[in-house]
A and B are shown apart, each in its own frame.
Chain A
Amino acid sequence: MNIVKLHATTSTNDELKSRFRESVLPHLTAIYSLKQTRGKGQQGAQWVTEDGKNLTFSVLITEGVSDLTPFLINQVVSVSIVEWLKNDLQIQSKIKWPNDILSVNHKLAGILIENSYSGNFLSSSVVGIGLNVNQVEFEGLPKAISLKNITGKEFELEVLLISFLNVLKNNLRDPLKVAQDYNKYLFKYRQVISFESSNAVFNGRVEGTDKDGKLILRVDNELKIYDLKELKWMY
């Protein structure tokens, strides 16, 4: 395992992608930074974090990546985080579709995956993960939570990183099998909740995801498939 520690960078995903463009890096090279000046959240949102308190890192996946799809990678990474939290830290968590990690209904970790395609096959994947660790106050973010909030303990960032990377490494040996566990870890799996789509509010039972990653809901006893953009959760 090849781990690079930085004191500051714009974004660990950008840093890893640019280093990978310039030289050949081994599978599972990871970069973590104590400070990100332009940490990327989803949809252009910034990932705001107190310096040195949280684990923000990116890991490169190259081996076997051409046999995977973007959503399979997302499934393996999400399941790996949930299993790692459960087995190594005794923390229960769920995957809020498609890739937020929630614990006690609050956001504990976020994932940002950037892949490269060459022709019809993936050539590499850069997986960025932000995990709230030792930060206890999240001003303006009422739905955020950290490992310290949950356990009352402080954690060494690098120790966490190494133990997580070991879980990921193992899970990438049999990604298709690991991906099968994605549905059962879904937030509100097999529960009925309210959603909004096309300005209408309705109840749906979360049944899982299809191969492209779309959400399958049972609505009025019928299975329906929803894209991310056409669905709002009202929980």
Chain B
Amino acid sequence: MDIKEIQNLIKFVAKSGASEVKLEMDDIKITIRTGSETGDVTYVSQAAPMQMAPAQQAAPMQQAAPAAAPAAPAPEAAPAASNDKYITVKSPIIGTFYRKASPDKPAFVEVGDSIKEGDTLCIIEAMKLFNEIESEVSGTIVKVLIDDSSPVEFDQPLFLVDPS
């Protein structure tokens, strides 16, 4: 397993929403913790996910355990616990949520709109840096969970999308 594969694995685990995955192969044992234990105060987990990854990657060999099967690839946006039918789009960063590119433009999406993978759903602005949030699925916007111009935390649900 080379560094690239380990990096990809870390990314996969981080995206899956799992808090810990242990993997054991012929000559290698890997434990990946995403550091997003529930119950933590939010500002702890607002650390950008990739800043943690290299640190963990530096010490990949830890105690072994039965391989947590990497299961079927989880949908990119982790499904919400309750609305199993819908996909929840969450904020990847802390910042301010904007539904429009600028005040005089229409909203990127409205409830009932059909969206394609890659469509921009909103902008999260932080520190004068503008971040377009793209949809990872195609479907229909079921609900907009945040008011325009409101502050959002890392991992806060923003939209519900019906992928069917």
> Taking beta carbons and an 8 Å cutoff, which residues of A are in contact with B?
42-44, 66-74, 98-99, 112-123, 176, 211-214, 228
Contact = CB atoms under 8 A, between A and B. Distances in A.
Contacts of B50: 66-69, 121
B146 to A, nearest CB: 15
Nearest to A43: B128
Given A119-B77, A119-B92, A114 B127 contact: no
A124 B120 CA distance: 13
Contact of B48 (A42, A69, A119): A69
11 contacts: A69-B93, A71-B48, A112-B128, A117-B92, A118-B134, A119-B15, A120-B49, A120-B92, A121-B15, A121-B50, A212-B127
Interface centre among A71, A116, A119 (most CB of B within 10 A): A119
Contacts of A120: 14-15, 49, 92
A116 B92 CA distance: 11
Given A70-B126, A112-B128, A121-B92, 18 more contacts: A44-B102, A66-B11, A67-B50, A74-B129, A98-B128, A114-B131, A115-B129, A115-B131, A116-B120, A116-B131, A116-B134, A117-B92, A117-B133, A120-B92, A121-B15, A176-B54, A212-B46, A214-B127
A233 B124 CA distance: 25
Contact of B51 (A114, A116, A211): A211
Interface of B: 11, 14-15, 46-51, 53-54, 76-77, 92-94, 102-103, 118, 120, 124, 126-134, 136
A72 B120 CA distance: 22
A74 B127 contact: yes
A211 B129 contact: no
A26 B110 CA distance: 33
Contacts of A69: 48, 50-51, 93
Contacts of B92: 117, 119-121
A123 B11 contact: no
Contacts of A115: 129-132
A98 B127 contact: yes
Nearest to A65: B50
Contact of B129 (A70, A118, A123): A70
B128 A99 contact: yes
A211 B47 contact: yes
B163 to A, nearest CB: 14
A98 B15 CA distance: 29
Contacts of A119: 15, 76-77, 92, 136
B75 to A, nearest CB: 10
Contacts of A212: 46, 48, 94, 126-127
B47 A113 contact: no
A110 to B, nearest CB: 10
Contact of B127 (A67, A121, A123, A228): A228
A115 B48 CA distance: 14
Contacts of B120: 116
Nearest to B90: A120
Contacts of B127: 70-71, 74, 98, 212-214, 228
Closest 6 CB pairs of A and B: A69-B48, A213-B127, A70-B129, A119-B76, A114-B130, A115-B131
A91 B40 CA distance: 46
A123 B11 CA distance: 13
A108 B130 CA distance: 22
Contact of B132 (A114, A176, A211, A214): A114
